[in-house]
Structure 1
């Protein structure tokens, strides 16, 4: 199973594969990134950890 995380970046929000420092996708808003990320990971066995602006854990989606 692939693990991803959505976190706040300097320019907005980023989708990162676990252990990576280079984002797979970026957007201005968290909601915008979730919409972009859904098709990228659709059909894959994956978990996505979504964080708040301050970096604390918000929720886990599959």
Structure 2
């Protein structure tokens, strides 16, 4: 499963695959990058870690939900 991170970079929000330097997607706002990520991950399996503006971890989402290895409801 691939791992991705949503982070703030300068004045943009980015979606970057772990190990890559260049972002897969960029957006002006956090909500916009989350929406773009949902579309981008439509045909992929992976984990997306969403970070706050200060870089601290906020939440993790698994795409597709059925592929979540955790038995938790979260």
- Structure 1 length-normalised TM: 0.92
Question: What residue in structure 1 maps to residue 25 of structure 2?
Answer: 25
List structure 1 segments (4+ residues) > 4 angstroms apart after TM superposition.
none
Structure ranking higher on relative contact order (CA contacts 8 Å, 6+ apart): 1
**How many matched pairs?**
62
Residue 6 (structure 2) pairs with residue 6 (structure 1):
yes
Could you tell me which runs of 5 or more consecutive residues in structure 2 were left unpaired when the two chains were aligned: 63-74
Q: Which has the larger radius of gyration?
A: 2
Could you tell me which runs of 5 or more consecutive residues in structure 1 were left unpaired when the two chains were aligned: none
Q: CA RMSD in A?
A: 0.9
- Structure 2 length-normalised TM: 0.78
